[in-house]
Amino acid sequence: MNKELKKVLLNDKFLSLIAEKITAGERININEGLKLYKSHNLSALALLANEKRKQINGNFVFFNKNFHIEPTNICIHNCRFCSYHRSINDSDSWDYDISEMMEICKKHYRKDISEIHIVGGVHPDRHLDFYCNLIVEIKKMFPAVHIKAFTAVELDYMISMANLTIKEGLLKLKAAGLNSIPGGGAEIFDSEIRRQICYQKSDANTWLEIHKTAHKLGITSNASILFGHIETYVHRLNHLEHLRNLQDQTHGFNAFIPLKYKKFNNSISETGEVNDIEVLKNFAVSRIFLDNIPHIKSYWPMLGKNLAGFALHFGADDMDGTINDSTKIYSMAGAEEKNPAMTTAEMVNFIKQSGFIPVERDSVYNKLNVFE
Protein backbone atom coordinates (compact mmCIF):
# COMPACT_ATOMS: atom_id res chain seq x y z
CA MET A 1 0.00 0.00 0.00
CA ASN A 2 1.52 3.36 -0.99
CA LYS A 3 2.12 6.17 1.49
CA GLU A 4 -0.51 8.47 0.00
CA LEU A 5 -3.17 5.79 0.33
CA LYS A 6 -2.12 4.96 3.90
CA LYS A 7 -2.39 8.63 4.86
CA VAL A 8 -5.90 9.03 3.41
CA LEU A 9 -7.13 5.82 5.06
CA LEU A 10 -5.50 6.40 8.41
CA ASN A 11 -8.75 6.77 10.38
CA ASP A 12 -11.06 4.60 8.30
CA LYS A 13 -10.94 0.93 9.29
CA PHE A 14 -13.28 -0.25 6.53
CA LEU A 15 -11.45 1.45 3.68
CA SER A 16 -8.15 0.29 5.16
CA LEU A 17 -9.50 -3.27 5.04
CA ILE A 18 -10.42 -2.82 1.37
CA ALA A 19 -6.94 -1.47 0.69
CA GLU A 20 -5.42 -4.54 2.33
CA LYS A 21 -7.61 -6.81 0.20
CA ILE A 22 -6.58 -4.99 -2.97
CA THR A 23 -2.91 -5.20 -2.02
CA ALA A 24 -3.26 -8.92 -1.33
CA GLY A 25 -5.20 -9.53 -4.54
CA GLU A 26 -8.30 -10.60 -2.61
CA ARG A 27 -11.85 -10.19 -3.90
CA ILE A 28 -14.44 -7.90 -2.31
CA ASN A 29 -18.02 -9.06 -1.79
CA ILE A 30 -21.36 -7.37 -2.42
CA ASN A 31 -21.70 -6.02 1.13
CA GLU A 32 -18.27 -4.44 0.89
CA GLY A 33 -19.15 -3.04 -2.52
CA LEU A 34 -22.30 -1.51 -1.03
CA LYS A 35 -20.27 0.20 1.70
CA LEU A 36 -17.94 1.58 -0.97
CA TYR A 37 -20.88 3.02 -2.88
CA LYS A 38 -22.14 4.67 0.30
CA SER A 39 -18.74 6.10 1.22
CA HIS A 40 -18.35 9.88 1.01
CA ASN A 41 -14.56 9.63 0.89
CA LEU A 42 -14.17 10.24 -2.85
CA SER A 43 -10.40 10.71 -2.63
CA ALA A 44 -10.01 7.32 -0.99
CA LEU A 45 -12.21 5.65 -3.59
CA ALA A 46 -10.05 7.13 -6.35
CA LEU A 47 -6.86 5.93 -4.68
CA LEU A 48 -8.27 2.44 -4.08
CA ALA A 49 -9.50 2.09 -7.65
CA ASN A 50 -6.20 3.35 -9.03
CA GLU A 51 -4.33 0.87 -6.85
CA LYS A 52 -6.31 -1.92 -8.52
CA ARG A 53 -5.86 -0.35 -11.98
CA LYS A 54 -2.09 -0.14 -11.48
CA GLN A 55 -1.98 -3.82 -10.48
CA ILE A 56 -3.60 -4.75 -13.77
CA ASN A 57 -2.49 -2.09 -16.26
CA GLY A 58 0.21 0.04 -14.69
CA ASN A 59 0.03 3.65 -15.83
CA PHE A 60 -1.19 2.83 -19.34
CA VAL A 61 -4.40 4.21 -20.86
CA PHE A 62 -5.53 2.51 -24.05
CA PHE A 63 -7.35 3.66 -27.17
CA ASN A 64 -7.86 2.39 -30.68
CA LYS A 65 -8.57 3.82 -34.12
CA ASN A 66 -12.11 2.91 -35.04
CA PHE A 67 -15.36 4.08 -36.49
CA HIS A 68 -18.98 3.02 -36.07
CA ILE A 69 -21.66 1.85 -38.46
CA GLU A 70 -25.21 2.11 -37.14
CA PRO A 71 -27.29 0.17 -39.70
CA THR A 72 -30.66 1.39 -38.45
CA ASN A 73 -32.45 3.14 -35.61
CA ILE A 74 -35.66 1.24 -36.40
CA CYS A 75 -36.26 -1.19 -33.56
CA ILE A 76 -38.91 -3.71 -32.54
CA HIS A 77 -38.21 -2.80 -28.92
CA ASN A 78 -39.22 0.48 -27.32
CA CYS A 79 -37.10 0.64 -24.17
CA ARG A 80 -38.14 3.47 -21.89
CA PHE A 81 -34.59 4.80 -21.46
CA CYS A 82 -33.83 4.82 -25.19
CA SER A 83 -33.56 8.02 -27.21
CA TYR A 84 -32.43 6.19 -30.34
CA HIS A 85 -35.48 4.05 -31.16
CA ARG A 86 -37.65 4.94 -34.14
CA SER A 87 -40.52 3.21 -35.94
CA ILE A 88 -40.41 2.42 -39.64
CA ASN A 89 -42.52 5.40 -40.73
CA ASP A 90 -40.84 8.02 -38.53
CA SER A 91 -39.36 10.87 -40.54
CA ASP A 92 -36.01 10.69 -38.74
CA SER A 93 -35.58 6.93 -39.00
CA TRP A 94 -32.88 5.38 -41.16
CA ASP A 95 -32.33 1.92 -42.58
CA TYR A 96 -29.14 1.48 -44.57
CA ASP A 97 -28.76 -1.31 -47.07
CA ILE A 98 -25.41 -3.04 -47.55
CA SER A 99 -24.29 -0.78 -50.38
CA GLU A 100 -24.98 2.31 -48.26
CA MET A 101 -23.01 0.85 -45.37
CA MET A 102 -20.12 0.09 -47.68
CA GLU A 103 -20.13 3.76 -48.66
CA ILE A 104 -19.90 4.62 -44.95
CA CYS A 105 -16.88 2.33 -44.72
CA LYS A 106 -15.23 4.01 -47.69
CA LYS A 107 -15.88 7.43 -46.16
CA HIS A 108 -14.38 6.65 -42.74
CA TYR A 109 -11.78 3.98 -43.42
CA ARG A 110 -8.09 4.85 -43.34
CA LYS A 111 -5.18 2.42 -43.49
CA ASP A 112 -4.53 2.75 -39.76
CA ILE A 113 -8.13 1.98 -38.71
CA SER A 114 -8.08 -1.28 -36.76
CA GLU A 115 -11.76 -1.75 -35.88
CA ILE A 116 -15.23 -1.28 -37.32
CA HIS A 117 -17.91 -1.25 -34.62
CA ILE A 118 -21.43 -2.18 -35.81
CA VAL A 119 -24.51 -1.79 -33.59
CA GLY A 120 -28.03 -0.51 -34.18
CA GLY A 121 -31.68 -1.15 -33.61
CA VAL A 122 -33.36 -4.54 -33.85
CA HIS A 123 -34.97 -4.10 -37.26
CA PRO A 124 -37.93 -6.46 -37.89
CA ASP A 125 -36.82 -7.29 -41.44
CA ARG A 126 -33.05 -7.51 -41.06
CA HIS A 127 -32.13 -11.10 -40.30
CA LEU A 128 -29.00 -13.19 -39.92
CA ASP A 129 -28.16 -13.61 -43.61
CA PHE A 130 -28.32 -9.85 -44.17
CA TYR A 131 -25.75 -9.19 -41.45
CA CYS A 132 -23.55 -12.12 -42.50
CA ASN A 133 -23.50 -10.69 -46.02
CA LEU A 134 -22.60 -7.25 -44.62
CA ILE A 135 -19.63 -8.69 -42.75
CA VAL A 136 -18.49 -10.63 -45.81
CA GLU A 137 -18.57 -7.49 -47.96
CA ILE A 138 -16.60 -5.47 -45.40
CA LYS A 139 -13.99 -8.20 -45.11
CA LYS A 140 -13.65 -8.35 -48.89
CA MET A 141 -12.80 -4.66 -48.97
CA PHE A 142 -10.84 -4.48 -45.69
CA PRO A 143 -9.64 -8.02 -44.87
CA ALA A 144 -7.41 -7.01 -41.94
CA VAL A 145 -9.96 -4.94 -40.03
CA HIS A 146 -11.43 -6.29 -36.80
CA ILE A 147 -15.23 -6.37 -36.86
CA LYS A 148 -16.87 -5.91 -33.48
CA ALA A 149 -20.57 -6.16 -34.10
CA PHE A 150 -24.08 -6.71 -32.77
CA THR A 151 -25.24 -6.56 -29.18
CA ALA A 152 -26.62 -9.71 -27.58
CA VAL A 153 -30.12 -8.26 -28.10
CA GLU A 154 -29.54 -7.93 -31.85
CA LEU A 155 -28.00 -11.39 -31.95
CA ASP A 156 -30.90 -12.93 -30.03
CA TYR A 157 -33.40 -11.67 -32.60
CA MET A 158 -31.47 -12.42 -35.80
CA ILE A 159 -30.47 -15.92 -34.65
CA SER A 160 -33.97 -16.76 -33.39
CA MET A 161 -35.49 -15.62 -36.70
CA ALA A 162 -33.10 -17.96 -38.51
CA ASN A 163 -34.34 -20.88 -36.34
CA LEU A 164 -30.80 -21.59 -35.18
CA THR A 165 -29.33 -22.20 -31.76
CA ILE A 166 -27.13 -19.48 -30.27
CA LYS A 167 -24.06 -21.58 -31.03
CA GLU A 168 -25.11 -22.23 -34.64
CA GLY A 169 -25.88 -18.57 -35.26
CA LEU A 170 -22.61 -17.35 -33.76
CA LEU A 171 -20.63 -19.91 -35.76
CA LYS A 172 -22.27 -18.66 -38.94
CA LEU A 173 -21.37 -15.05 -38.08
CA LYS A 174 -17.83 -16.08 -37.16
CA ALA A 175 -17.44 -17.86 -40.49
CA ALA A 176 -18.56 -14.65 -42.21
CA GLY A 177 -15.83 -12.70 -40.40
CA LEU A 178 -17.22 -11.56 -37.04
CA ASN A 179 -14.32 -11.12 -34.60
CA SER A 180 -15.89 -9.93 -31.34
CA ILE A 181 -19.14 -8.57 -29.92
CA PRO A 182 -19.80 -5.36 -27.99
CA GLY A 183 -21.28 -5.15 -24.50
CA GLY A 184 -24.53 -3.30 -25.18
CA GLY A 185 -28.01 -4.50 -24.25
CA ALA A 186 -27.04 -5.61 -20.74
CA GLU A 187 -28.68 -2.55 -19.11
CA ILE A 188 -29.44 -3.88 -15.59
CA PHE A 189 -29.81 -7.62 -15.14
CA ASP A 190 -32.42 -7.42 -12.37
CA SER A 191 -35.69 -8.81 -13.77
CA GLU A 192 -37.96 -6.31 -12.00
CA ILE A 193 -35.96 -3.32 -13.23
CA ARG A 194 -35.94 -4.77 -16.75
CA ARG A 195 -39.71 -5.20 -16.55
CA GLN A 196 -40.04 -1.49 -15.84
CA ILE A 197 -37.58 -0.09 -18.37
CA CYS A 198 -37.15 -2.67 -21.18
CA TYR A 199 -39.71 -5.45 -20.75
CA GLN A 200 -39.66 -6.39 -24.45
CA LYS A 201 -35.91 -6.89 -24.59
CA SER A 202 -33.96 -10.14 -24.24
CA ASP A 203 -33.69 -11.06 -20.57
CA ALA A 204 -30.52 -11.22 -18.51
CA ASN A 205 -30.11 -14.98 -18.83
CA THR A 206 -30.23 -14.70 -22.61
CA TRP A 207 -27.64 -11.90 -22.63
CA LEU A 208 -25.31 -13.91 -20.40
CA GLU A 209 -25.81 -17.13 -22.38
CA ILE A 210 -25.00 -15.41 -25.68
CA HIS A 211 -21.77 -13.98 -24.28
CA LYS A 212 -20.87 -17.28 -22.61
CA THR A 213 -21.39 -19.16 -25.87
CA ALA A 214 -19.41 -16.57 -27.82
CA HIS A 215 -16.49 -16.88 -25.42
CA LYS A 216 -16.47 -20.67 -25.76
CA LEU A 217 -16.31 -20.25 -29.55
CA GLY A 218 -13.32 -17.92 -29.31
CA ILE A 219 -15.35 -14.74 -29.86
CA THR A 220 -14.37 -12.28 -27.14
CA SER A 221 -16.69 -9.51 -26.00
CA ASN A 222 -17.19 -6.49 -23.83
CA ALA A 223 -19.67 -6.08 -20.98
CA SER A 224 -21.62 -3.04 -19.84
CA ILE A 225 -24.10 -1.61 -17.38
CA LEU A 226 -26.62 1.19 -17.81
CA PHE A 227 -26.70 3.04 -14.49
CA GLY A 228 -28.23 6.16 -13.01
CA HIS A 229 -31.95 5.65 -13.73
CA ILE A 230 -34.26 3.72 -11.35
CA GLU A 231 -31.81 1.08 -10.15
CA THR A 232 -30.21 0.92 -6.69
CA TYR A 233 -26.65 0.20 -5.62
CA VAL A 234 -27.67 -3.38 -4.86
CA HIS A 235 -28.98 -3.82 -8.39
CA ARG A 236 -25.66 -2.55 -9.75
CA LEU A 237 -23.66 -4.89 -7.55
CA ASN A 238 -25.75 -7.92 -8.44
CA HIS A 239 -25.18 -7.02 -12.08
CA LEU A 240 -21.42 -6.82 -11.52
CA GLU A 241 -21.44 -10.16 -9.72
CA HIS A 242 -23.12 -11.87 -12.68
CA LEU A 243 -20.38 -10.51 -14.92
CA ARG A 244 -17.61 -11.46 -12.52
CA ASN A 245 -18.97 -15.00 -12.20
CA LEU A 246 -19.17 -15.44 -15.97
CA GLN A 247 -15.67 -14.08 -16.41
CA ASP A 248 -14.42 -16.64 -13.88
CA GLN A 249 -15.82 -19.34 -16.15
CA THR A 250 -14.81 -18.07 -19.59
CA HIS A 251 -12.23 -15.27 -19.30
CA GLY A 252 -13.79 -13.86 -22.47
CA PHE A 253 -14.59 -10.27 -21.49
CA ASN A 254 -12.03 -7.74 -22.71
CA ALA A 255 -13.51 -4.66 -21.03
CA PHE A 256 -16.36 -3.37 -18.91
CA ILE A 257 -18.17 -0.16 -19.86
CA PRO A 258 -20.23 1.80 -17.32
CA LEU A 259 -22.81 3.69 -19.40
CA LYS A 260 -24.56 6.63 -17.77
CA TYR A 261 -28.27 6.99 -18.41
CA LYS A 262 -28.99 10.20 -20.34
CA LYS A 263 -32.38 11.78 -19.78
CA PHE A 264 -33.20 13.52 -23.07
CA ASN A 265 -35.83 12.33 -25.54
CA ASN A 266 -37.05 9.24 -23.70
CA SER A 267 -39.97 8.25 -21.49
CA ILE A 268 -38.21 8.18 -18.10
CA SER A 269 -36.73 11.66 -18.40
CA GLU A 270 -38.41 12.68 -15.16
CA THR A 271 -35.93 10.52 -13.23
CA GLY A 272 -33.16 12.98 -14.11
CA GLU A 273 -29.49 12.08 -14.26
CA VAL A 274 -26.92 11.25 -11.60
CA ASN A 275 -24.22 13.83 -10.96
CA ASP A 276 -20.54 13.53 -11.85
CA ILE A 277 -19.59 12.40 -8.34
CA GLU A 278 -21.91 9.43 -8.68
CA VAL A 279 -20.43 8.62 -12.08
CA LEU A 280 -16.89 8.63 -10.72
CA LYS A 281 -17.92 6.58 -7.70
CA ASN A 282 -19.45 4.00 -10.04
CA PHE A 283 -16.21 3.74 -11.99
CA ALA A 284 -14.23 3.22 -8.79
CA VAL A 285 -16.48 0.51 -7.38
CA SER A 286 -16.63 -1.24 -10.76
CA ARG A 287 -12.82 -1.34 -11.00
CA ILE A 288 -12.43 -2.70 -7.49
CA PHE A 289 -15.24 -5.26 -7.76
CA LEU A 290 -14.48 -6.57 -11.27
CA ASP A 291 -11.04 -7.84 -10.39
CA ASN A 292 -11.02 -10.33 -13.27
CA ILE A 293 -12.07 -8.08 -16.18
CA PRO A 294 -8.84 -6.47 -17.37
CA HIS A 295 -10.07 -3.12 -18.67
CA ILE A 296 -12.59 -0.46 -17.62
CA LYS A 297 -13.64 1.81 -20.44
CA SER A 298 -14.29 5.53 -20.04
CA TYR A 299 -16.53 6.02 -23.06
CA TRP A 300 -15.89 9.65 -23.89
CA PRO A 301 -18.64 10.17 -26.54
CA MET A 302 -21.17 9.53 -23.77
CA LEU A 303 -19.40 11.09 -20.77
CA GLY A 304 -17.82 14.05 -22.55
CA LYS A 305 -14.06 14.48 -22.65
CA ASN A 306 -13.69 16.23 -19.29
CA LEU A 307 -15.59 13.66 -17.23
CA ALA A 308 -13.99 10.82 -19.19
CA GLY A 309 -10.61 12.25 -18.21
CA PHE A 310 -11.57 12.36 -14.54
CA ALA A 311 -12.74 8.74 -14.75
CA LEU A 312 -9.15 7.76 -15.60
CA HIS A 313 -8.31 8.73 -12.01
CA PHE A 314 -11.09 6.46 -10.70
CA GLY A 315 -9.92 3.17 -12.16
CA ALA A 316 -10.65 3.49 -15.89
CA ASP A 317 -7.80 2.63 -18.24
CA ASP A 318 -9.37 2.77 -21.70
CA MET A 319 -10.80 5.67 -23.73
CA ASP A 320 -12.41 3.56 -26.49
CA GLY A 321 -11.53 4.99 -29.90
CA THR A 322 -11.16 7.96 -32.16
CA ILE A 323 -14.76 7.35 -33.44
CA ASN A 324 -14.53 9.85 -36.36
CA ASP A 325 -18.02 11.30 -35.78
CA SER A 326 -19.69 8.02 -36.69
CA THR A 327 -22.11 7.40 -33.81
CA LYS A 328 -25.43 9.05 -32.94
CA ILE A 329 -26.65 6.80 -30.11
CA TYR A 330 -25.63 9.10 -27.25
CA SER A 331 -25.80 12.43 -29.03
CA MET A 332 -29.51 11.72 -29.60
CA ALA A 333 -29.87 11.29 -25.83
CA GLY A 334 -28.22 14.62 -24.98
CA ALA A 335 -24.57 13.57 -24.59
CA GLU A 336 -21.94 16.28 -24.20
CA GLU A 337 -20.17 15.29 -27.43
CA LYS A 338 -22.49 16.20 -30.29
CA ASN A 339 -20.00 15.31 -33.03
CA PRO A 340 -17.64 12.81 -31.42
CA ALA A 341 -14.26 12.62 -33.11
CA MET A 342 -10.65 12.83 -31.98
CA THR A 343 -7.50 12.56 -34.03
CA THR A 344 -4.74 10.28 -32.79
CA ALA A 345 -2.70 13.33 -31.79
CA GLU A 346 -5.63 14.75 -29.84
CA MET A 347 -6.23 11.43 -28.07
CA VAL A 348 -2.55 11.04 -27.18
CA ASN A 349 -2.33 14.60 -25.90
CA PHE A 350 -5.53 14.22 -23.90
CA ILE A 351 -4.30 11.06 -22.15
CA LYS A 352 -0.88 12.59 -21.45
CA GLN A 353 -2.46 15.71 -19.96
CA SER A 354 -4.49 13.44 -17.69
CA GLY A 355 -1.21 12.04 -16.35
CA PHE A 356 -1.04 8.65 -18.08
CA ILE A 357 0.90 6.87 -20.83
CA PRO A 358 -1.17 6.57 -24.03
CA VAL A 359 -1.20 3.21 -25.77
CA GLU A 360 -2.75 2.57 -29.14
CA ARG A 361 -4.22 -0.94 -29.06
CA ASP A 362 -6.06 -3.33 -31.28
CA SER A 363 -9.54 -4.61 -30.39
CA VAL A 364 -8.23 -7.32 -28.05
CA TYR A 365 -5.73 -5.03 -26.34
CA ASN A 366 -2.50 -5.97 -28.04
CA LYS A 367 -0.26 -2.90 -27.82
CA LEU A 368 0.42 -1.34 -31.22
CA ASN A 369 2.09 1.94 -30.23
CA VAL A 370 3.19 3.24 -26.84
CA PHE A 371 3.50 7.04 -26.67
CA GLU A 372 6.00 7.57 -23.86
**What is the pTM assigned to this prediction?**
0.94
Residue 61, burial from CB neighbour count under 10 angstroms (0-12, 13-18, 19+): buried
Residue 167 has pLDDT above 90, yes or no: yes
Q: Which of 240-244, 259-263, 312-316, 350-354 has the lowest mean pLDDT?
A: 259-263
- Residue-level pLDDT at 327: 47
Amino acid occupying residue 339 = N
Which pLDDT score, from 0 to 100, does residue 51 have? 94
Task: Give the C-alpha separation, 208 to 218, whole Å.
Answer: 15
Closest by Cα among 61, 66, 65 to 372: 61
Q: Is the pLDDT of residue 306 over 70?
A: yes
User: What's the whole-number mean pLDDT along residues 211-223?
Assistant: 98
DSSP code for 370: E
**Residue 189 burial by Cβ neighbours in a 10 Å radius (0-12, 13-18, 19+):** buried
- Spell out the domain ranges in the chain: 3-52, 62-370
Please state which of the ranges 32-41, 323-332, 355-364 shows the lowest mean pLDDT: 323-332
Domain spanning 62-370: which CATH class is it, in words?
Answer: alpha beta
**343 has pLDDT over 90:** no
At 230, the pLDDT band (50, 70, 90 cuts) reads very high
Give start and end residues of each alpha helix (H) in 217-275.
233-250
Question: What are the pLDDT digits (tens) for 64-98?
Answer: 999 999 999 999 988 888 877 688 888 889 999 99
Least confident of 51-55, 165-169, 326-330: 326-330
